[in-house]
């Protein structure tokens, strides 16, 4: 790869990073307004509703991510470079900046997932796995663990 091509690949990476960040930010704001906020009212809903809420939100994220990444991948690069380099830039940038931009603003989804885990799955893990100590110093033991009331 020569200096000119290196510069073009770098510019394409920068442009794609900005484009994916904008797409991610817009998507996260749209989803913020389409779904219930994580608050006491959401926590009072049924487990079925909570699981459906996060499942639909994750599904929309994945579908929009797939199709936006696919459209950008099949589109020509902003500045022409070899296809191999274009695919490398597309894969790297889509893997990092899009996900970063979406999840920076998806605090409610993260909190919802943590709540569902703590409420429904954590009790199973509490029974199955040692609750105290560390595998590093081999002092694992069972007993009751204090949990957050999230």
Q: pLDDT tens-digit profile of 83-114?
A: 888 878 877 777 777 777 777 777 888 899 99
pLDDT of residue 148: 54
- Please give the span between the terminal C-alpha atoms of the chain, in angstroms, as a whole number: 53
Confidence of residue 145 (pLDDT cuts 50, 70, 90): low
Q: In the predicted model, what is the mean pLDDT of the chain?
A: 84
pLDDT of residue 144: 64
Q: pLDDT tens-digit profile of 67-91?
A: 888 888 788 888 888 888 887 887 7
* Cα angle 95-103-77, degrees, rounded to a multiple of 5: 35
pLDDT of residue 120: 92
Q: What is the pTM of this model?
A: 0.73
- Do 62 and 135 form a contact (C-beta atoms < 8 A)? no
Q: For the chain, what are the domain ranges?
A: 3-128
Whether 122 has a pLDDT exceeding 80, the answer reads yes
């Amino acid at each position: 790869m020569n200096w000119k091509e290196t510069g073009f690949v770098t510019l394409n990476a920068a442009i794609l990073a900005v484009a994916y960040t904008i797409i991610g930010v817009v998507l996260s704001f749209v989803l913020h307004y389409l779904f219930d906020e994580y608050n006491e009212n959401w926590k009072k809903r049924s487990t079925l509703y909570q699981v459906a809420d996060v499942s639909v939100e994750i599904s929309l994220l994945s579908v929009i991510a797939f199709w936006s990444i696919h459209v950008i991948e099949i589109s020509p690069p902003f500045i022409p470079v070899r296809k191999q380099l274009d695919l490398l830039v597309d894969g790297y940038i889509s893997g990092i900046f899009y996900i970063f931009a979406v999840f920076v603003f998806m605090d409610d989804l993260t909190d919802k997932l943590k709540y569902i885990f703590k409420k429904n799955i954590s009790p199973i893990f509490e029974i199955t796995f040692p609750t105290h100590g560390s595998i590093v110093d081999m002092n694992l033991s069972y007993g009751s663990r204090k949990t957050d009331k999230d």
